[in-house]
Structure formats: C-alpha cells, structure tokens
Amino acid sequence: MKLVNETVVIDGIDKTILNFLMDDAKKSILEIARNIGITGAAVHQRLRKLEKAGLIEGSKLMINPRLLGYKTMAFVGVYLDKAVSNPQAVKQLRQIPEVIECHYTTGNWSIFIKILCRDNEHLMNVLNKDIQAIEGVSRTETFISLNQQINRQIKI
C-alpha cells in the first residue's frame, strides 16, 4: 500500500485481504493468512496500514431491519427554502432515528435522505411530524422502495 496524490494504491495481497473481509468481516486473520500464504502478522500489519491510511473505516455488525419490524424503506428529497438552512436541517435530521442516510445533492433537492419505517403509517408520521416540521424545509418528495435488488460495496 502507498499513497499517491491522496489516493491509496493497494497491491494484490491487500486486495485479496480486503476482499476476504468484505465477504465476511468475521473471518480470522489466521484463516486469511493461510489462504494467501503469508503470516498472520503480515496480514495484521497490512490491515493496520490500511486503517491508518483511512481506506478501512471500521467494521460493523449489520442487522436485518425487517426482522425488527422495519418493512418500509423510503428515499426522500428534501427541498429547503434557503441553502443556508442545510447545516441546521442536517443537525435536526440527525435526531430522527428513522433517518439512516443523508446526502447533500445536486439537482432538485437540497438534501436526499434514506429512511426506514415499520409501515406506511409510520412513514407518514415521520414525514409529517418530524421531517416537514424542520425549520427551512419547504416540501419533500418521497419514493418508497418496493424491493432492494443490489446491495454491495465498490469492487476493488
């Protein structure tokens, strides 16, 4: 691994290690090392360098929200009356637990968010009582996801 113009350049061994972990983050360093043919210490050292460079941002446990009753996923374009409202609106959106992603965008919306709700009624309450009540929000445009077809990371 090396840095070139603020871009991390990784070699084949780094790619193999990362692909193993992207497929299964619980895979042990020793198992990865055996598959690659290097020592566990070498794998560990490479991972620490990739973390230090910022390429690896951490690992997290992924849960299936549907099994907790969250069956409605929606994307909401948020129109703000003024661009200066963006930071304050994001601060308030951060307080709404159903908001799981928030992006500044180009195009029609100021902000584009992804939310998870139990059902359509829950979605309507979050939209009407939480999101549209934020100062500066002039209106929203909502798209309900019927079924997620692709869920992956960038290929390395």
Say how far apart CA 123 and CA 72 lie, in whole Å.
Answer: 8
> Phi/psi of residue 115, each to 5°?
-130, 150
Scanning the structure block, which residue is given the tokens 């996923």? 73
Answer yes or no: do 48 and 25 share one domain.
Answer: yes
Last residue of a domain, one of 52, 75, 92: 52
Q: How far is CA 156 from the centre of its chain?
A: 17
Residues spanned by the domain of 34: 2-52
Asked if residue 155 belongs to a domain, the reply is no
Torsional sign, CA 8, 14, 16, 19:
negative
Answer yes or no: do 123 and 77 share one domain.
Answer: yes
For the chain, the three-class secondary structure string (H helix, E strand, C coil) is CEEECCEEECCHHHHHHHHHHHHCCCCCHHHHHHHHCCCHHHHHHHHHHHHHCCCCCCCCCCCCHHHHCCCEEEEEEEEECCHHHHHHHHHHHCCCCCEEEEEECCCCCCEEEEEEECCHHHHHHHHHHHHCCCCCEEEEEEEEECCCCCCCCCCC
pLDDT tens-place values along the chain, 156 residues long? 777 777 889 999 999 999 999 999 999 999 999 999 999 999 999 999 999 999 999 888 889 999 999 999 999 999 999 877 789 999 999 999 999 999 999 999 999 999 999 999 999 999 999 999 999 999 999 999 999 999 888 888
Answer yes or no: do 23 and 82 share one domain.
Answer: no
Say how far apart CA 156 and CA 33 lie, in whole Å.
Answer: 19
Answer yes or no: do 93 and 115 share one domain.
Answer: yes
Read off the pTM: 0.84
Torsional sign, CA 8, 13, 14, 18:
positive
Q: How far is CA 136 from the centre of its chain?
A: 25
Torsional sign, CA 143, 147, 152, 154:
negative
Answer yes or no: do 48 and 119 share one domain.
Answer: no
